[in-house]
Structure formats: structure tokens, C-alpha cells
Amino acid sequence: MDKHVLGIDVGGTTVKCGLFDTSGELLKKWEIPTDISDGGKNILPDIAASARTEIADTSLLAGNTSILAGNTSILAGNTSLLAGVGIGVPGPVLRESYVPRCVNLGWGSVDVAGVLSDLMDGVPVKAANDANLAALGEMWKGGGRGFRSMMLITLGTGVGGGIVLDGKILPGLHGTGGEIGHITVNPAETLQCTCGRYGCLEQYASATGLVRTAKRMLAGQHEPTVLSSCSEISAKRIVDAARDKDPVAEKALDEMCDYLAMALGTMASTLDPEAFVIGGGVSRAGQILIDGIKKHFPKYHFVGEGLPEFYLAQLGNDAGIYGAAKLIFG
């Protein structure tokens, strides 16, 4: 019987899991809560236990009862069905195994791949940063499909990213490659970023950054705008208003896109990717966001010709499990 691959994406609230066949088709997916109590010591055992349960219940066994003959352990989720396990974590990962520290999970130093492999009867395990795996997933089955070199930018509460060059993740020396959110785009900024520095991209291109920009513009303008009557301004409200040609919303979104284009121009000059893929909650703005970035990008692009492509991410919250599986498929 063909073996399968398990892709895991560990988040601060939930752990997303997906079981893939050898062709890369997602057979089933499920979630479990992330137990960060006691320094996150239960996270990896919980993942192993859940995997055994789900493998036992999966339709992989349907129509192939011969594998049960004389081997009732399969009913307990025999991990020999797995060719390997890929796992993404929200922190730096070294040598596809070792996490020096992961604050979101309460972890100090953890050999994630080694521990999980031991818990799953020696099945090969590879680990990587979750954003990098999301980029790998989008390259494999999503918005970056067909490219070998691309960068994923995730726009949510913060701004993250992952880099894939020539089909391989670029994690960097300390596992923090792709942290585009903390590129300085405005050295004159006086408000401090959460990282402790000033003028980071995240302060302008995240959902919270877009709201901050709109509120700043509201405080100093006299043009009619629907935003002035909003009891609570959100990134979605701003984007919707920009689509309706609201002048303040258009200016706020345009400023965000300008800063994004500036940062991506820097990355293009350094990495020369074929494409940028935009994901995260803010990417639900759709084509208006892509058009805004493309409008400003040429003035920041070092190479005079051969502009990279810009696409929206397609896999949503499943990007991480696809990338984790691809880490095993190679």
C-alpha cells in the first residue's frame, strides 16, 4: 500500500493537520486545540495522539482489509502508514529540526523533529517556520503555482513572509528569513513598532496599520467621507469604502500599497523572485490591493525590465499544511 504524508501547522490557538497521498492530494484535514499550558509540553504528544486516531479512522483502510489480517495494531493508527511528517511552528527553526525558542507556544529549546519522531515510532519528521511553509504551500498548490522562486507576504494583524528560491525554502542563518514586516520603510516615524524599532512596514501594511493611517488622515482632513461616521473603523471597512471611491479611504489604502511596493522593491532587488504572492486577512481586499501595489512598484524596482508577477494567495489557512507536506515530498 502507498504511504502517506502528514502536514502539520502549529498555531497559538489551534494545530491544523492534513493527511496527503503520494500524489499530493489532501485526503482529510482536522484541527486540535494548542495546549500551551506547562510550557507547551503537551503540544507534540497531543499531535502524535491525534495523528494515530485520525489514521485509524481514515478511509485509507477502506477496500483494503488485507492489511488488517494478523495486524490489529493498525486499528490504533499504525504510523508505518506514513512516509514522513512535516511540521510548521510560529518561530525560527534550525536544521529542519531544532527550535531555539518559540514564545507563542511557551517553548524554550525544543528538538521538534526529534521529539515528534520518537512519539510516532521513528517516522521521519522535518520542521520549518510556519510562514516559510505557507510560502512553500502556495508555490506548490496555490497562488505561486508554476514558479520556482517566489515570496509570500502575509498581511494580517502583523506582516509576515516566507521565501522560496529555486524550489527551496530560504530560512536564513537564524531561521528568521522572510521577516519582511520589520523592514524599515519610514525612518522618520516617531511611533514605536512592537519590535521596538521605528518605521517598520508592519506599522503601515498590516490591518492595524491601515486603520492607524486612516485615523491619522481623518484627524487632519475636511473632505466628506463615510469613515467619519463609523463607530469603529476596520481594515475591511476602509477597503470597502475605497472601492466606492471614498477619498480618505482611497488615500489610506494607496499609502499602504506604496509602502508595500517600497518593501517589495527592496526584496526584488535582493532576491529577484519570479513572483510575489499576497496572503493573510487583508488580502481578501482582492484585486484592488494587487493593482495598488503594481501602481507604485516600478519606481522602487532596481531592474528596468522583467517585473515580477503579483498574485493573491489561494490556499488560505491550509497553506501551512500543504507546505509542511511538501517539505517531506521534496
Q: Are residues 171 and 120 in the same domain?
A: no
Q: Are residues 178 and 323 in the same domain?
A: no
Do 213 and 179 form a contact (C-beta atoms < 8 A)? no
Instruction: Tell which residue, 82, 78, 101, 74, has the closest CA to residue 90.
Output: 101
pTM of the model: 0.86
CATH at 24: 3.30.420.40
Q: Are residues 30 and 105 in the same domain?
A: yes
The residue type found at 139 is M
Q: Are residues 82 and 17 in the same domain?
A: yes
The residue type found at 215 is K
pLDDT tens digits, the chain, 330 residues: what are they?
Answer: 468 999 999 988 999 999 999 888 999 999 999 999 999 999 999 999 999 888 887 655 444 433 333 333 333 445 567 899 999 998 889 999 999 988 889 899 999 999 999 999 999 999 999 999 999 999 999 999 999 999 999 998 889 899 999 999 998 888 788 889 999 999 999 999 988 899 999 999 999 999 999 999 988 777 788 888 888 899 999 999 999 999 999 999 999 999 999 999 999 999 999 999 999 989 999 999 999 999 999 999 887 667 899 999 999 999 999 999 999 998
How many CA atoms does the CB half-sphere of 19 hold within 13 Å? Answer: 24
Residue 168 makes CB contacts below 8 A (sequence gap 6+) with none
Q: Are residues 103 and 189 in the same domain?
A: no
Q: Are residues 97 and 196 in the same domain?
A: no
Domain range for 214 is 145-314
**Domains: count for the chain:** 2
Q: Are residues 163 and 238 in the same domain?
A: yes
Q: Are residues 101 and 156 in the same domain?
A: no
Q: Are residues 201 and 282 in the same domain?
A: yes
Give the strand pairing for 82-89 and 98-99.
unpaired
